Each structure stands twice: as structure tokens, then as C-alpha cells.
Amino acid sequence: MLQLGVLRVHRLGFGTMQLTGPGVWGPPRDHDGAVAVLRRAVELGVDLLDTADSYGPFVAEELIREALHPYPEGLKIATKAGFTRSGPDQWEPCGRPEYLREQCEGSLRRLGAERIDLFQLHRVDPKVPADEQYGLCKELRDEGKVAEVGLSEVSVAQVEAAQRIVPVVSVQNQYNVAQRSADDVVDYCAERQIGFIPWFPLGSGKLSRPGGPVDQVAAELGATVSQVCLAWLLRRAPVMVPIPGTSSLEHLEENCAAAGLALTEGQYQLLSDARKPLRRWALGG
């Protein structure tokens, strides 16, 4: 378990981006299947759902409410604000305080919640003074509309700047066994007990090709590549909270089983040392 401010969660959550249509746009191809995946995730012990008003847009939040409201005791919902959407795979940062407030209030309505457990700034909009964006998050927290505040795709300097205005309990950056440009942010968060929520946690690139280090460790453990990727993340830092997403019940159960997978020291070091050139991915994380 990990303490994120007033929130206490298990260290393996569930991300809802893949429950929407192609390009994170529109409804899922299998509506009933998406509802079933959400319900099964909670049955398996997941107590942190990560979503965003931009997933769909609005679709993922609406699915969460349909599947799980009234929410079971202990379930925490994290949502994000700070993007506009004009079509499939189209993402445009927008950090105007009035827009962020509108997004928060919309998320509260769609989720059927009195308070958002974890409200995350999806991106720091470079066109708006950062302090205004952090300040709006503080206002929402002070008003009781959100319990805790998190940031997404930020540097250490940005976390420090935000912390001067509002307590930050989590950071959500792209991070996985193959792409580790956020190593410094992970270490910063670990030193300060700030939760680190890696998006795209199952990425492994060439490391999982036949004979590669991830494939090798998976064979040794009788596990899947995805499980090894998650096990490495969970060991990488005690504040790590992966949120693998899927629209498949089979893959959901496979991912959740990774919480019980233990890497040996040798296996962990093999994966830690097996780096490939880093590259940045698309905005939508």
C-alpha cells in the first residue's frame, strides 16, 4: 500500500484510456465489455482508477459511473484536466484556470462524485503562467472539490514550482523498462514520498524481442512480458503505482497477477541495465 496525501492505495491501479474508441475518441467498440472490465478490476482488488475528461472525451468517466456507482468503499478515482480534443488522436493543452475549473466540475457531474480523490493537471500549458494553473488546483483543493492534486508530464523543476503553491502527492509521466527519460523525476519522487504513476507502463520495445532481456526473464519466471514489465516497475521505486490499461478481461487478470511476481536481484539488474535510446511519445498519456 502507498499513502498519497489522505489517499491510501494499492500499488497497482487501472488506467481507462483504452476503454474508449480508436484514437481515444468516442465510445468503445464493446460497451458491455468495457463495463465488465471495470467491474472485474475492482473485484481483483484494484482501488485506484485513473481516467481523464479528455478520454473520449467524457466517455471513460461516464463508463466508470455506469459500471461502479455507487462506488465501493475504498475505491479512489483519479482524473485529469488540461486538454482540449478536436478529434481522434488530437490533443491540445489548455491550462486557463476557468477551463480547468469547468473540467473539474464536469468530471464531478459525470462521475457522480462529491469530491475528486486525485485531480491531476494533464499538462502544464506553456501559453498560461504555470503558477495560475497550480493556483487553480489549490483553489479546488481548498474548496473541497478535490482531495489531492497531482501533475502529469513534468520535470523536477516543475514539481518544485508547483509544491510552492499546492501540495503535490503524485506525478504521472511516461516511464517503463525501455523508456526512462523520467529517471530523475522517479528518484525525486521516491526521496519525497510522492507517488509516481507511470503511463505506458507496459512498453518494452526491443527489450522483449525473442532472446531479449525481458523475454529471458519472462521465460525464467514462467510469466508474461507484461507481467515482467510491471514487476520491474514495482521494484524500481517504492512510490511507483503502475496503471496498466486494457479492454480485455484476460489481459486485466494477467496484469493484476503481476503484483505477486518477484524478480531476483540478478533479473532486476539485467532489466535495469538493458537500456535503449530514449524517445518521446505522443501527448496523450
Assess whether pLDDT exceeds 50 at residue 9: yes
| pLDDT tier for residue 278 given thresholds of 50, 70 and 90 | very low
Residue 168 sits in a domain of what CATH number?
A: 3.20.20.100
Residue environment code for 175-209, b if the CB has 16+ CB neighbours within 10 A, otherwise e: bbbbbbebeebbebbbeeebbbbbbbbbbbeebbe
In-domain check, residue 285: no
Predicted TM-score (pTM) above 0.85: yes
| pLDDT (tens digit per residue) in 137-188 | 999 999 999 999 999 999 999 999 999 999 999 999 999 999 999 999 999 9
Q: Is the dihedral of CA 93, 95, 96, 102 positive or negative?
A: positive
For residues 44 and 258, give the distance between their C-alpha atoms in angstroms, rounded to a whole number.
12
The catalytic position among 55, 134, 175, 188 is 55
The mean pLDDT value for 93-119 works out to 98
In-domain check, residue 273: no
In-domain check, residue 31: yes
In-domain check, residue 121: yes
The mean pLDDT value for 28-51 works out to 98
In-domain check, residue 202: no
Total domains, the chain: 1
55 is catalytic: yes
The mean pLDDT value for 67-77 works out to 98
Assess whether pLDDT exceeds 50 at residue 280: no
In-domain check, residue 270: no
| pLDDT (tens digit per residue) in 251-274 | 999 999 999 999 999 999 999 999
In-domain check, residue 276: no
Assess whether pLDDT exceeds 60 at residue 282: no
| pLDDT (tens digit per residue) in 109-146 | 999 999 999 999 999 999 999 999 999 999 999 999 99
| pLDDT tier for residue 275 given thresholds of 50, 70 and 90 | confident
Residue 105 has a CB neighbour count (10 Å cut-off) of 13
For residues 112 and 37, give the distance between their C-alpha atoms in angstroms, rounded to a whole number.
20
Q: Which helix (H) or strand (E) holds 81?
A: strand 76-81
pLDDT score, position 285? 52
Find the domain containing 44 and state its range: 7-172
In-domain check, residue 106: yes
The mean pLDDT value for 209-227 works out to 97
Q: Which of 100, 85, 110, 93 is nearest to 23 (CA)?
A: 85
Residue 245's Cβ-count burial label (10 Å; 0-12, 13-18, 19+) is buried
- The CA radius of gyration of the chain, in Å to the nearest whole number, is 18
pLDDT score, position 258? 97
* Average pLDDT taken over every residue of the chain: 96
The mean pLDDT value for 226-248 works out to 98
Cell 518521446 belongs to 280
- 122: cell is 494533464
For residues 161 and 98, give the distance between their C-alpha atoms in angstroms, rounded to a whole number.
21
Assess whether pLDDT exceeds 80 at residue 73: yes
For residues 140 and 135, give the distance between their C-alpha atoms in angstroms, rounded to a whole number.
9
pLDDT score, position 279? 41
Q: pLDDT exceeding 70 applies to what percent of the chain?
A: 96
Assess whether pLDDT exceeds 70 at residue 281: no
